[in-house]
Amino acid sequence: GESVGLHLPTLSVQEGDNSIINCAYSNSASDYFIWYKQESGKGPQFIIDIRSNMDKRQGQRVTVLLNKTVKHLSLQIAATQPGDSAVYFCAENRGGGNKLTFGTGTQLKVEL
Amino acid sequence: SQTIHQWPATLVQPVGSPLSLECTVEGTSNPNLYWYRQAAGRGLQLLFYSVGIGQISSEVPQNLSASRPQDRQFILSSKKLLLSDSGFYLCAWSRTGGDTEAFFGQGTRLTVV
């Protein structure tokens, strides 16, 4: 769920390295998860999603892993590029009404 | 293709003044519509969502209200702004049926002075 009052955690990686961004969710009834990327001053953009009947899903340079046992979600970005620098949010649909609840977010900084 | 328009991009308003932010969606019908607020350096908080014309659900008690006068129009309002209403407001839409991603507008940066 939300972590109101906390500043964004930051992950710094070297260009070309792989990035792993983690997210913990609290509601075991959540059945749909999304990762969003938000660049400064812009709205979030969809990256990849995963349903609760899956453990892993791959996209272009990105992989999402879902561990329902410990209610943990991760986003892996392969060969991180400067353009990947942004804030990344996980979002969960807690079932019914398609209302997405967002996590606090992680600031990804790519160092040259 | 579907597009979402949100305006204005930035807004500076005095305390006690009214507010009206507008959001429209094109290229789809009967979307779910959402208003989120994002404080600086923080996550997104769902304020309102709507599944149809005139149907508004409020997620948190606050100084704001929302209306949906047309299928693809969503308006965020306030009669008297507070300093704490400052933030980044995002409109979003999703297809009906659940378990689909939400598509966001570019946001409105509201500063109440």
B108 vs chain A: nearest CA distance in angstroms? 9
Q: Examine residue A99 and state whether it is found in any structural domain, yes or no.
A: no
pLDDT of residue A4: 34
pLDDT of A96 above 80: no
Chain A positions in Cβ-Cβ contact with residue B51 (cut-off 8 Å) = 97
Give the length of chain A: 112
B32 vs chain A: nearest CA distance in angstroms? 8
Are A8 and B42 within 8 A, CB to CB?
yes
**Contact call for residues A75 and A66 (beta carbons, < 8 A):** no
Chain A positions in Cβ-Cβ contact with residue B109 (cut-off 8 Å) = 41
Percent of chain A topping pLDDT 90 = 71
How far is the C-alpha of A97 from the C-alpha of A94, rounded, in Å? 9
pLDDT of residue A43: 93
Q: Examine residue A38 and state whether it is found in any structural domain, yes or no.
A: yes
pLDDT, averaged across chain A: 89
- Higher-pLDDT residue of A35, A3: A35
Q: Name beta bridge partners: A55.
A: none
Tell me which residue in A49, A51, A89 faces B43 most closely, judged by beta carbons: A89
Q: Is A63 on the interface with B (CB under 8 A)?
A: no
Question: Could you count the other beta carbons within 10 Å of the beta carbon of residue B21?
Answer: 22
pLDDT of A95 above 70: no
Q: Examine residue A63 and state whether it is found in any structural domain, yes or no.
A: yes
Q: What is the largest CA-CA distance in chain B?
A: 41
Number of domains into which chain A is organized = 1
pLDDT of residue A5: 36
pLDDT of B62 above 90: no
**Contact call for residues A63 and A79 (beta carbons, < 8 A):** no
Are B98 and A98 within 8 A, CB to CB?
yes
Are B99 and A105 within 8 A, CB to CB?
no
Query: Residue A51: which domain range?
Result: 30-75
pLDDT of residue B85: 94
Q: Which domains are present in chain B?
A: 3-112 (2.60.40.10)
- Among B14, B11, B18, smallest CA distance to B80 is for B18
Q: Tokens 């965020």 identify what position?
A: B76
Q: Examine residue A84 and state whether it is found in any structural domain, yes or no.
A: no
Mean pLDDT computed over B32-49 = 89
Are B98 and A42 within 8 A, CB to CB?
no
